[in-house]
Chain A
Amino acid sequence: SAVISQKPSRDICQRGTSLTIQCQVDSQVTMMFWYRQQPGQSLTLIATANQGSEATYESGFVIDKFPISRPNLTFSTLTVSNMSPEDSSIYLCSVGKTGLNTEAFFGQGTRLTVV
Chain B
Amino acid sequence: DAKTTQPNSMESNEEEPVHLPCNHSTISGTDYIHWYRQLPSQGPEYVIHGLTSNVNNRMASLAIAEDRKSSTLILHRATLRDAAVYYCILRDPRMGGSEKLVFGKGTKLTVNP
Contacts and interface: CB of A to CB of B under 8 A. Distances in A.
B42 A108 contact: yes
Given A35-B103, A94-B101, A100-B93, 14 more contacts: A42-B87, A42-B105, A43-B101, A43-B103, A96-B99, A98-B99, A102-B99, A103-B49, A104-B99, A105-B45, A106-B43, A106-B45, A108-B41, A108-B43
Contacts of B100: 31, 33, 45, 48
A106 B32 contact: no
B10 interface: no
B44 A106 contact: yes
Interface of B: 32, 34, 36, 41-46, 49, 85, 87, 91, 93, 97, 99-106
A100 B94 CA distance: 9
A7 to B, nearest CB: 14
Contacts of B101: 33, 43, 45, 94, 104
B43 A107 contact: yes
A100 B100 CA distance: 13
Nearest to A6: B43
Interface string A81-112: 00000000000101011101111111111000
A96 B32 CA distance: 16
Given A42-B103, A100-B93, A101-B49, A92 B43 contact: yes
A97 B103 CA distance: 19
